[in-house]
Amino acid sequence: MKNQEIARALHEISVLLEVEGKDKFKPRAYARAARSIESLGEDVEAVARRGELESIPGIGKAIAKKIEEYLDTGTISHLEKLRKQIPIKVTELESIPGVGPKTIKLLYDNLKITDLESLEEALNAGKLEGLPRLGAKSIAQIAEGISLVRGGMSRTLLAEAMDVASRLVEYLKQSVSITQIDVAGSLRRRRETVGDIDILVNSPSPEQVAAAFVSYPEIGEVIVKGDTKVSIRLKSRLQVDLRLLPAESYGAGLQYFTGSKDHNVRLRALAQQKKLKLNEYGLFRGDTAIAGRHEEDIYDQLGLQFIPPELREDHGEVEAAQADQIPALVELSDIRGDLHSHTDQTDGSNTLEEMIEAAVQLGHEYLCVSDHTKNLTVANGMDESRILKRIDEIDEINNSGRWPIRVLKGAEVDILPNGELDIDDSVLSQLEVVTVSVHTMMRMDRAAMTERVCTALESKYAHILGHPTGRLLLKRPGIDIDLEDVFEVAKKNNVVMEVNSYPQRLDLDAGNIRLALRSGLKIAINTDAHKTFELDNMRYGIFQARRGWATASDVINTRSVKDLLPLLKK
């Protein structure tokens, strides 16, 4: 789906027009159109095919034309022209927290800053001080943002990388004859962000595979083209390494290139103890390969249970495999419902009915609708009377039998800075699933933040702690909080920890999921969907939960609604 790409392009036009400064209204029109496409509840291409682009709020004839141009050609000529006139790397600069269109214009007009590098130079030279409308606090925020972006610059979100990889795999399969193809590396281990993509192929005609690979339409440049390894950089800057492997060592290559490095070091040491040698070509006794064709055989010959890629981090999985104690990790097919979703009642894009319909399509047995509450004014959070109205609406839907799904009455309730919830107990008591989350005042110190969240968990009606650290991957670190304390209080108060499937969140992270489970807590894997198609993000939460060693019984929403609801009782 190209919604996000198009929204980005329209937004970039709005910023460049703003910098150009010729017209007051056009930048706003493009910004509005970008937001409209970004929050559109369906594929913009489908809308275009129906000829209904202009029915989208904020999209007039001129912008509709540009969207069509993008869908046809992958770019917008107006944008290309603006980029030539004003060489600002908008996306790069805006990736820095605290830098928006106004700041970009200010930096360009006064200091001719066009990208991250020139901004960093100006910052280090003290040139930002003394700029109009840019206080010391903003400058400090920009400095912090730059180091965050620098740290994550070469990384891509798992969800995005998986999309790129599966398109490329499809393309190769269509183009040439392939016997086996796998994506390896950190992507196969489902790390939350990845540095590059590794693709392994076995084919009767490796030269043709390499040729097809370097003529992939999304390619930016060829880095290396050898007989067994070809590396390219895509237009999106992401690097992809293709390795051509013979069938007899395919499994060994898959094991080797999946990693992690630390996991492989452990395996090689284990092989040595058994007087064997393990490398990317196979497992050898002397010169004889005793495994290599299939990855499972390598583990088997080393006396290990098969280790799922998500666990291969040398975090105890080798010992567990030796003792036959690798858990049966939770799978997507175990999930029976979703406990966190939003509608257009607050900041979601789709109606209640559309969300329900989409959850039915996914085969869910239940969907909890958990819109925001009144403290979150930017999301048009609900007050008590709106929640009560919502409860009636849901009762009516459930009683009507219109959909073969149980809609659960919920809310994502704001945790106020003092730890109180922003909704009255008399209303909370009527909800079936109350998720409590921190959305505001995220920069409190560790002691105060821990106290704040722990107080909230003590509420009689807090069932689930939503996205417990509030981090946004590659964008902002989480809140400063002592999760061990939080887990202890959660255990006492029977509060479930959320694993949020939103690709930018994936919060809790793997280490903390494991810690939560060890503390005796249960988790809920939820999508936090704000659009119908985001209900499909569940798999990313599953990957994360697997990386945290979670089994189906650790996850409350693998249960039927009848078994689930009693688990939430205090």
Q: Contact positions toward Zn ion, by CB under 5 A?
A: 412, 437, 528
Residue 88, amino acid: I
Of 308 and 410, nearer to Zn ion (C-beta) is 410
Cα 14 to Cα 90: distance, rounded to the nearest angstrom: 10
* Structure tokens belonging to residue 18: 């703003």
Using the Cα atoms of residue 124, residue 130, residue 131 and residue 136 in order, give the sign of their dihedral: positive
Of 338 and 528, nearer to Zn ion (C-beta) is 528
State the DSSP H helix or E strand holding residue 446, giving kind and residue range, or none if neither. Answer: helix 446-457
Contact call for residues 546 and 508 (beta carbons, < 8 A):
no
Of 318 and 376, nearer to Zn ion (C-beta) is 376
Of 209 and 545, nearer to Zn ion (C-beta) is 545
Of 344 and 412, nearer to Zn ion (C-beta) is 412
CB of 214 to Zn ion, least distance (A): 43
CB of 507 to Zn ion, least distance (A): 10
Cα 370 to Cα 429: distance, rounded to the nearest angstrom: 14
Residue 418, amino acid: N
CB of 155 to Zn ion, least distance (A): 23
CB of 412 to Zn ion, least distance (A): 5
Of 310 and 412, nearer to Zn ion (C-beta) is 412
Q: Which residues have CB under 8 Å from 138's CB, separation 6+?
A: 98, 103
Residue from 73, 308, 61 nearest 189 by CA: 308
Contact call for residues 300 and 510 (beta carbons, < 8 A):
no
Q: What are the strands, taking DSSP E only, across 458-538?
A: 464-465, 496-500, 523-526
Cα 29 to Cα 350: distance, rounded to the nearest angstrom: 23
Contact call for residues 370 and 551 (beta carbons, < 8 A):
no
CB of 251 to Zn ion, least distance (A): 42
CB of 15 to Zn ion, least distance (A): 27
Cα 305 to Cα 318: distance, rounded to the nearest angstrom: 9
CB of 345 to Zn ion, least distance (A): 12
CB of 413 to Zn ion, least distance (A): 10
Cα 49 to Cα 462: distance, rounded to the nearest angstrom: 45
In this structure, the number of other CB atoms found within 10 A of the CB of residue 91 comes to 12
Of 243 and 471, nearer to Zn ion (C-beta) is 471
Of 465 and 556, nearer to Zn ion (C-beta) is 465
Contact call for residues 239 and 223 (beta carbons, < 8 A):
yes
Q: How many helices (H) and strands (E) does the chain have?
A: 24, 17
Of 437 and 532, nearer to Zn ion (C-beta) is 437
Side-chain-side CA neighbours of 156 within 13 Å: the count stands at 19
CB of 378 to Zn ion, least distance (A): 12
Q: Quick one: three-class SS letters along 123-140?
A: HHCCCCCCCCCCCHHHHH
Q: How far is CA 154 from CA 149, 200, 258, 385, in A?
A: 9, 22, 19, 47
Q: Report the Cα 379 to chain-centroid distance in Å.
A: 21
CB of 362 to Zn ion, least distance (A): 18
Contact call for residues 435 and 545 (beta carbons, < 8 A):
no
Of 12 and 528, nearer to Zn ion (C-beta) is 528
CB of 382 to Zn ion, least distance (A): 13
Of 105 and 386, nearer to Zn ion (C-beta) is 386
Q: Please confirm whether the linkage preceding 508 is cis (ω < 30° from 0).
A: yes
CB of 381 to Zn ion, least distance (A): 11
Of 310 and 528, nearer to Zn ion (C-beta) is 528
